[in-house]
Structure 1
Amino acid sequence: MTDLPLHELAIERHIAAPVSHVYKIWMERLPEWWAPKPWTTEVVEMDARPGGRSAMNMVSPDGEVSPVEGVFLEIAPEQRIVFTDAFRAGWIPHPPFMTGIFAFAPDGEGTAYRAAARHWDEATMQSHSEMGFEAGWGAVADQFKALCEETWVAR
């Protein structure tokens, strides 16, 4: 194992719902929480398997569209989801920005959720931080947590 720096930014939340429910909400209801409100998310394709395409559009309130596309690298149900924007579907290289790692682990009667962005270098990580990683990914994690807990209580 190497001691290379991960150039990682991460957000963690405790979600008062079991891992199975949290994972299901991540996979099935992504448009409801992925973008910080008032932005919305339109899923173009989510082929949740290693090598499968992950494509969505984040849409601003005034209609500005920010496409997000990459491929899934790992899907470990109820444990981890990993994707990167370094490739398009079909392993077509694309200038990389990050690898996203979403982890789910039992935590008492709930779930420890961790959303991390790993970057190729320190400068890219710093740029992502300055773009508002903490506020943006934090808002999204809060939206995700709220949806998971609301839908679990409603059961």
Structure 2
Amino acid sequence: MSSAQHELSVSCHIAAPREIVWKVWTDLKDQWFCPKPWQAEVIEEDLRPGGRSAVRMFGPDGEDTGPMEGIFLEVVPVERVVSTDAYASGWIPQEPFLTSIWSFVEEGEGTRFTATARHWSDEALKRHQEMGFHPGWDQMAQQFKDLCETSAAIA
């Protein structure tokens, strides 16, 4: 079975060098990670295989997602990050929803950014679509692009 069968993704060209795109991804996640007016709080980002990733999102009407926790499976600085929510820190299994793949590829004078969500099942994929993958991740990618390009302009 092809992984693309359970895959959703967004991609955009960013007019900024890959090093700046990487720095924005690693250091400014609270500014772009969820569609505004929602706010993201990075609880922990231990960027190494097996390291904890925990983010919480807050909505404009008091909504709180609670910590969304997972672990990093692969970290290739400035190129690619893979994480999953199938485990909490310490390799503790939890109900899986997706594996996220974030890639940063040099393209022309900028960077091709792609964010991919691979789901464990058709049901999980459909649930993510119904939750608003598009336009939510589209807006996230646009916010990320804007922040990267602004950061490149002042660098």
TM-score by length of 1: 0.95
Q: In structure 2, what is the equivalent of residue 106 of structure 1?
A: 106
Q: In structure 2, what is the equivalent of residue 9 of structure 1?
A: 8
Q: Deviations over 1:93-139 (max 9, x none)?
A: 00000000000000000000000000011221122112110100000
Say whether the 8 Å CA contact 2:14–2:148 is kept in structure 1. Answer: yes
Instruction: Could you tell me which runs of 5 or more consecutive residues in structure 2 were left unpaired when the two chains were aligned.
Output: none
Instruction: Could you tell me which runs of 5 or more consecutive residues in structure 1 were left unpaired when the two chains were aligned.
Output: none
Q: Report the Cα distance in structure 2 between the residues aligned to 1:28 and 1:152, rounded to whole angstroms.
A: 14
Q: In structure 2, what is the equivalent of residue 40 of structure 1?
A: 39
Which deviates further from its counterpart, 123-132 or 20-29? Answer: 123-132
| Ranges of 4+ aligned residues in structure 1 off by more than 4 Å | none
Q: Report the Cα distance in structure 1 between the residues aligned to 2:142 and 2:121, rounded to whole angstroms.
A: 27
- Aligned-residue offset at 1:85: 0.4
Q: In structure 2, what is the equivalent of residue 77 of structure 1?
A: 77
Corresponding residue SS for 2:139 = helix
Corresponding residue SS for 1:65 = coil
- Aligned-residue offset at 1:149: 0.2
Q: Report the Cα distance in structure 2 between the residues aligned to 1:109 and 1:63, rounded to whole angstroms.
A: 41
Q: In structure 1, what is the equivalent of residue 151 of structure 2?
A: 151
Q: Report the Cα distance in structure 1 between the residues aligned to 2:48 and 2:28, rounded to whole angstroms.
A: 17
Corresponding residue SS for 1:103 = strand
Q: Report the Cα distance in structure 2 between the residues aligned to 1:113 and 1:5, rounded to whole angstroms.
A: 19
Identity %: 50
Q: Within the alignment, does 1:53 sit opposite 2:52 as a pair?
A: yes
Q: In structure 2, what is the equivalent of residue 129 of structure 1?
A: 129
Corresponding residue SS for 2:11 = strand
Higher helix share: 2
TM-score by length of 2: 0.95
Corresponding residue SS for 2:62 = coil
Corresponding residue SS for 1:22 = helix
**AA matched with 1:34:** F
Q: Within the alignment, does 1:119 sit opposite 2:116 as a pair?
A: no
Q: In structure 2, what is the equivalent of residue 140 of structure 1?
A: 140
